[in-house]
Amino acid sequence: MSPKIDAARANFAALRTPLVCPVCGERLALSANSFRCPAGHCYDIAAKNYLNLAPRLKAPAVYDAALFAARRAVFAAGFYAPVAKALADRTAAHRQSLKRPINVLDAGCGEGYFAAAVLNALGQADCEVLALDLAKPGLTLAAKAAPGLKCLLADLTRLPVPDASLDIILNMLSPANYREFRRALRPGGLLLKVAPGPDYLREVRQAFALPPGEASEAESLLATACGAYETAAFTYTRPVNETMRAAFLAMSPLASHHAAAAPEFAAVTIDLRLYAARF
C-alpha cells in the first residue's frame, strides 16, 4: 500500500460523524480502503484524501481546475478574510453554547477555503469539518487545505449523513437544498449561508458586459424554509493588481462569458450577505 492511501484511510478512520449510503440510506462502515453499506454499495477512499460517494455524478463543466486555482489565489490574497472570520466566530459561539465538540458540513465547499478556515480556527478536537462538493478539481485542492478535513465527493441535494446529525451547515456561494439541510441538521442546528449582494464583483460583471447582479433569491427561500434568520453584510472595494485582476476574471462561472474588451478595472467590490438561520 502507498503511504498516501494509508494517510487518507487514517484520516477517514478518525471520522466521528456517521455516514449513510447515498443509494439506499443505510449506514456506511469502513472496510479496507472503502466505505460499504449492508446492501453492498461500495465507495472508495482516494489516495488524494477524499471519499468518492458519487462515482457516477459530475459537477457542471464550468467548475474546472482553472476556476478553482483562481479562487484559491483570490482567497489566499485575503479578499474574503472578513467573511471567513465571521464564520469562524459564529461556529465558535455555537460550540461554546453546546459545551461539546461539534460537527460542520460545508455543502459546496469548492477548493475548501471556508471549511479550512473554520477547522483551523476551532481545532480538530472541538470541531469536525466535512467538506462536500461534486467537482473533483475543487475537492482535490480542498483535501490538502487543512489537516484533518474530511472531503466528500457527493451531491449536496442528497447529503450522505443521517437525519439530525449535523450541528452546522455552511453553504457558501453555492446552490442550496433547504429541505435536505433541514433533514440533516439537528434540532436547533445552524445554517450559515453566504450569497452575493447586488454589487458583488461589480467590476467583473462590467468587464463581461453583464447586467448588474440581481437580488439573491436566498432571502425569500430562507424565509419560507425557516422563518427567522439574521443577516450580516460584507461590502468593500479593494484595489487589484494585474495578477489579481486575472484571478477575479477566472474565479467564477461568469468567466464562461467572453470579456467585451480588455478588462481594465483597478479595484474589485465584494458585496456578500451572511445569513444565519436556526432550524
Binding site for Zn ion (CB under 5 A): 21, 23-24, 37, 39, 41
- Residue 157 interacts, among Zn ion, ligand SAM, none and using kind-specific CB cut-offs from 5 to 8 Å, with ligand SAM
Q: How far is the CB of 136 from ligand SAM (least distance, A)?
A: 9
To 10 degrees, what angle do helices 113-122 and 81-98 make? 50
Q: Which of 9, 71, 95, 245 binds ligand SAM (CB under 6 A)?
A: 71
Q: Which one among 8, 46, 53, 59 touches ligand SAM, defined by CB under 6 A?
A: 59
Q: What minimum distance in Å lies between the beta carbon of 23 and Zn ion?
A: 4
Output the DSSP codes for 31-43: ETTEEE-TT--EE
Nearer to ligand SAM, 108 or 160 (CB): 108
- Of the two residues 169 and 173, which places its CB atom closer to ligand SAM in the complex? 173
Pairing of strands 42-46, 34-36: antiparallel
Minimum separation from the CB atom of position 129 to ligand SAM (A): 13
Nearest to 161 by CA among 172, 150, 147, 146: 150
Site for ligand SAM in 127-156 (CB under 6 A): 133-135, 138, 155-156
**β-bridge mates for residue 166, sequence order:** 185
Binding mask 162-181 for ligand SAM (x = CB under 6 A): ----------xxxx------
Work out what residue 37 binds among ligand SAM, Zn ion, none; the CB cut-off runs from 5 to 8 Å by kind. Zn ion
Kindly tell me which residue out of 110, 160, 189, 196 binds ligand SAM, with binding defined by CB under 6 A.
110
Q: Whose grid coordinates read 477517514?
A: 12
**Considering the complex, what minimum distance in angstroms separates the CB of residue 171 from ligand SAM?**
8
Compute the least distance from the CB of residue 132 to ligand SAM, in Å. Answer: 6
**In the complex, least distance from residue 42 CB atom to Zn ion, rounded to whole angstroms:** 9
What backbone torsions phi and psi does residue 106 show, to the nearest 5 degrees?
-95, 110
Nearer to ligand SAM, 122 or 154 (CB): 154
Closest CA to 218 of 175, 189, 251: 175
Which of the listed partners (Zn ion, ligand SAM, none) does 155 bind, with a CB threshold of 5 to 8 Å by partner kind? Answer: ligand SAM
The distance from CA 25 to its chain's CA centroid, rounded to whole angstroms, is 22
Helices (H), the chain: 3-13, 65-76, 81-98, 113-122, 136-142, 178-184, 202-207, 218-226, 242-250
Q: 92: number of CA atoms within 13 Å, CB side?
A: 13
Q: What is the CA 70 to chain-centroid distance, rounded?
A: 16
Considering the complex, state which of residue 59 and residue 122 has its C-beta at the smaller distance from ligand SAM.
59
Three-state SS at 73: helix
**Residues 95, 124: Cα–Cα separation, whole Å:** 12
Q: Is the dihedral of CA 105, 107, 112, 118 positive or negative?
A: negative
Number of residues that bind ligand SAM (CB under 6 A): 18
In whole angstroms, the minimum distance from the beta carbon of 32 to ligand SAM comes to 26
Q: What does 22 bind: Zn ion, ligand SAM, none (CB cut-off 5 to 8 Å by kind)?
A: none
Q: Where do contacts with ligand SAM occur on this chain (CB under 6 A)?
A: 59, 63, 71, 108-110, 113, 133-135, 138, 155-157, 172-175
